[in-house]
Amino acid sequence: MVYKLFIDSDVLLDVVLNRKPFIDQSLQLFFGRSDETIHLFTSSSIVINTQYIGEKQTGRLSAKTAMKKLLNYLEIINPSKESILKAYYSNFADVEDAIQYFTALENGEIDYFITRNIKDFRTTGIPLPVLTPSQFLKFFKQNS
């Protein structure tokens, strides 16, 4: 089976900023692509936010180099006006999280939304499962 994952900015930042202990699990998501069992997606705003935060913490060149490598593994999808409106009318506490979530949901192919910030996704009735990298990797091992 091929798993299609939407990757949130905190997971990308784990790699760009070499955040321990999270980098190992986040990198494993990218390694899973080598045998085509995992396809990764994100949005352009996540790329922009990750670059901005990465530059502030590691410098422009370091962040740019890391993001160029990561982009080789990512497909970019973007929100529609409808996704943005759904986010504003939803009961998510954080609008940016909601926009990313509804962008992934609207895509129609995404199996899991991957973030380390799952507390902001504890909204009832959301149809797309939200997992941390470690939760997904555990599930992936059990089902491979």
DSSP string of 19-69? -TTHHHHHHHHHHGGGGTSEEEEE-HHHHHHHHHHHHHHH-HHHHHHHHHH
Predicted pLDDT of residue 45: 95
Average pLDDT over residues 100-109: 95
Task: Give residue-wise pLDDT tens across range 1-18.
Answer: 899 999 999 999 999 999
Task: Give residue limits of the domains in the chain.
Answer: 3-142
Per-residue pLDDT band for 34 (boundaries 50, 70, 90) equals: low
Q: What is the mean pLDDT of the chain?
A: 92
Tell me which CATH homologous superfamily contains domain 3-142: 5'-nuclease (3.40.50.1010)
The pTM of the whole model exceeds 0.85: yes
Predicted pLDDT of residue 7: 98
Average pLDDT over residues 95-100: 94
